[in-house]
Structure 1
Amino acid sequence: MPALFPASCSTAARDWVAGAIATIEADFNRSADTHLIPFPMPGHPGIDVYLKDESSHPTGSLKHRLARSLFLYALANGWLQEGTTVIEASSGSTAVSEAYFARLLGLPFIAVMPTCTSPEKIAAIEFQGARCHLVDDPGAINAESARLARELGGHFMDQFTYAERATDWRANNNIAESIFKQMAQEPHPVPHWIICGAGTGGTSATLGRYVRYRRNDTRVLCVDPEHSVFYDYYRGCVEGRPDCGRVLAVGSGIEGIGRPRVEASFIPQCVDAMVKVPDALSLAAMRHVSARLGRRVGGSTGTNFVGVLEAARRMREAGLAGSIVTILCDSGDRYAHSYYSPAWYAQQGIDIERADAIIAAAVRGDALAGVSLAQMRPGCLD
């Protein structure tokens, strides 16, 4: 008879994991889907724009989906047990959402984040009973998270590695499936473009995989903020010279998206085109969307909207009609001390009036007099 090795965990441990998964699934069952909001653009006739409002999740952002997937992935893999300290490297929103799920399961949670993270996000994390561990160097939060996990015997959730694989991209109400179900009764039910940012790369991977799996003609446009490596890495991949070793000395000025280094969860082959957006235009677009909706949105939504304007302009110039969907990532209430503070703009030296004028002209469909909203790769947004 072959030797029988003892079980890797006790019956009680397996029972705790089963109960934890049931708790997360019950929480999901209590939650409604997020809204898909039409966003009229009279300057671009024949092109219908929609915002997928992820700010309506219980933790207020797109990262709620990711946090749920990461916890289920870790539980199914046997990485979490009763009493395990959960640690995450996050600029804010992922940590807010993961802190929510950790509290749901009664697990300690530590968020490792840059010292420049908005005080509103820090307060939201601490509200969930979690602890914030601040690091001066944004590029060091992963290494610091891994160190804490070793010292405490905890688990480093590592969103930047596992985001693209933790989400079930075929179904299970991921964001792509939700978008297509909600678009079913619209004049152009299959979007010409879906536009998203890259923080971990998990959302762009999910969208790109889903549209290929469902054999849709939709293409995925990924927007990257000014201080981030994803666009340059993607450009190198398109041109046959990928360089995943580049590291920036500064972090992204748009919280939640952009990274100083290429992350494992960013899959360039899942993206059909990329744009790089100056921070000033991201924030001007954020203000425009906020004014049109009558409520504040975050900076990453502004970056997404610049992608919408570029895609819409290219479609219009090519004589194409159709729909564009992008993501309203989170509420602007988390950025009262930065993106919605006149003093902050003065400190950053950002020319608000010029940026607002450029966005207003693009929304109207006016020629931009040689001003480009964004750098593009591969230049085929038609």
Structure 2
Amino acid sequence: MDRSWVTWAVGQLTADARRSADTHLLRLPRAHDRGIELYLKDESTHPTGSLKHRLARSLFLYALCSGDIGPDTTVVEASSGSTAVSEAYFARLLGLPFVAVMARSTSPRKIALIEREGGRCEFVGTAGEVYEAARRIADDRGGHYLDQFTHAERATDWRGNNNIAESIFTQLAEEPHPVPAWIVVGAGTGGTSATIGRYLRYRGYDTRLAVVDPDGSAFLSAYAGGDAHGAGSRIEGIGRPRVEPSFVPRVVDRMIGVPDAASVATMRFLASTFGIDAGPSTGTNVFGALRLACEMTEAGRAGSIVTLMCDRADRYSDTFGDDGWLAAQGMDPTPFAAEVADAWRSLGGT
């Protein structure tokens, strides 16, 4: 392995991190103070537009420093879209070919973003087929399979080093409740929840970690002691059909199931109420955060809750943003719209 090239490549990734060191922490404004502050960490402001920019950088650094990637390596990933968009960006930054393996149901907008970054897409029938297909393509080309689902929890330094958990607490330092009662995240690879859960224990915070997941998720069943496999979710990026190796359930304090239509209703609520055009997985996150906030209010507790804006709605304009597509999928967000609005009003919103 050419160590001088690896040194150069790590330098390129480090420079990217310095250019995009952090993302905004948005406080959702209310008309009346009921003692609960709800924050949305906007990960869509990364150069590749999603939470997965952090993960992709970490995966590349991990592979480079482990000797798995060299100047001529074809990089391969199994991804439902956003991770592959970010990985294609970093592959192009390093001058490496990149192949993303994904289900045919992946949003066309995400596919276009991968190709815009110079990546190539290979398609399989279902989300459960991506793993072996990606491994096979990497083996056939003498390349490297990044395998986000195995390596996410170990590639990120959970003790700090500008990870998302450290960033959240730094940004909350001057807020009314600087140590949040809850942090709420989805379970995609499991890497984000593992990083945050470990960091909370490492720093001795009382904050609890809630993982939200949509219909079809294997994580929900397995966490409750049931089957470790499921049908898989229609909410892209979360709700995996199997429990991924990077998921660390022992650092999760609570799991909350969120119906797909509720995720869409909350996604639309964010747009209409705050002008925040977020994707459906953000809707999943915020629906769970609202439920926890209502529980705190009913118990007479004050505090803060932080969740994540994973990506923007424009990636889903031809799917979750399309009423015809939703109807074809059997998803009607209308019954949940009133529930979300009522929850927000109970917290002092209008």
Question: TM exceeds 0.5?
Answer: yes
Shift of 1:40: 2.7
Shift of 1:230: 0.4
Q: Mark the runs of 5 or more structure 1 residues left unpaired by the alignment.
A: 1-8, 237-241, 367-382
Verify the 8 A CA contact 1:309 1:362 in the aligned structure 2. Answer: yes
State the secondary structure of the residue aligned to 1:184.
Answer: coil
Shift of 1:44: 7.3
Task: Describe the superposition over 1:330-365 as per-residue Cα deviations: whole angstroms up to 9, x where unpaired.
Answer: 001000001111111221222232121221122222
State the secondary structure of the residue aligned to 1:149.
Answer: helix
1:196 correspondence with 2:185 = yes
Q: Which residue of 2 aligns with 1:323?
A: 304
| Normalised TM-score (structure 1) | 0.89
Q: Which residue of 1 aligns with 2:283?
A: 302
Distance between the aligned counterparts of 2:337 and 2:291, measured in 1?
16
Distance between the aligned counterparts of 2:130 and 2:245, measured in 1?
15
1:74 correspondence with 2:56 = no
Tell me which amino acid in the other structure corresponds to 1:337: D
1:257 correspondence with 2:246 = no
RMSD after superposition: 1.3
Distance between the aligned counterparts of 1:331 and 1:89, measured in 2?
21
Task: Describe the superposition over 1:91-122 as per-residue Cα deviations: whole angstroms up to 9, x where unpaired.
Answer: 00000000000000000000000100001000
Shift of 1:70: 0.3
Aligned match of 1:213 in 202, 214, 217?
202
State the secondary structure of the residue aligned to 2:306.
Answer: strand
Shift of 1:42: 5.2
1:177 correspondence with 2:166 = yes
Tell me which amino acid in the other structure corresponds to 1:282: S
Aligned match of 1:352 in 326, 333, 339?
333
Distance between the aligned counterparts of 1:87 and 1:135, measured in 2?
14
Shift of 1:30: 1.6
Q: Which deviates more, 289-298 or 67-76? A: 289-298
Task: Describe the superposition over 1:118-173 as per-residue Cα deviations: whole angstroms up to 9, x where unpaired.
Answer: 01000000001110001112101001001111111110000000000000011110
1:65 correspondence with 2:58 = no
Aligned match of 1:101 in 90, 97, 106?
90
Distance between the aligned counterparts of 1:78 and 1:112, measured in 2?
23
Verify the 8 A CA contact 1:42 1:364 in the aligned structure 2. Answer: no
Distance between the aligned counterparts of 2:310 and 2:254, measured in 1?
20
Aligned match of 2:10 in 15, 21, 26?
21
Q: Which has more radius of gyration? A: 1
Distance between the aligned counterparts of 1:40 and 1:212, measured in 2?
30
Distance between the aligned counterparts of 1:169 and 1:306, measured in 2?
26
Task: Describe the superposition over 1:313-335 as per-residue Cα deviations: whole angstroms up to 9, x where unpaired.
Answer: 11111110000000000001000
Tell me which amino acid in the other structure corresponds to 1:55: S
Aligned length: 347
1:46 correspondence with 2:35 = yes
Q: Which residue of 2 aligns with 1:5?
A: none
| Normalised TM-score (structure 2) | 0.97
State the secondary structure of the residue aligned to 2:224.
Answer: helix
Tell me which amino acid in the other structure corresponds to 2:229: V
Shift of 1:27: 1.4
Q: Which residue of 2 aligns with 1:247?
A: 229
1:267 correspondence with 2:248 = yes
Verify the 8 A CA contact 2:58 2:155 in the aligned structure 1. Answer: yes
Aligned match of 1:167 in 156, 163, 166?
156
Tell me which amino acid in the other structure corresponds to 1:247: H
Shift of 1:267: 0.3
Distance between the aligned counterparts of 2:255 and 2:276, measured in 1?
28
Tell me which amino acid in the other structure corresponds to 1:281: A
Distance between the aligned counterparts of 1:43 and 1:354, measured in 2?
26
Distance between the aligned counterparts of 1:269 and 1:42, measured in 2?
38
Q: Which residue of 2 aligns with 1:293?
A: 274
Tell me which amino acid in the other structure corresponds to 1:357: A
Distance between the aligned counterparts of 2:291 and 2:336, measured in 1?
15
Task: Describe the superposition over 1:57-105 as per-residue Cα deviations: whole angstroms up to 9, x where unpaired.
Answer: 0000000000000000000100001110000000000000000000000
Distance between the aligned counterparts of 2:330 and 2:70, measured in 1?
48
Identity %: 59
Distance between the aligned counterparts of 2:294 and 2:276, measured in 1?
26
Distance between the aligned counterparts of 2:5 and 2:295, measured in 1?
53
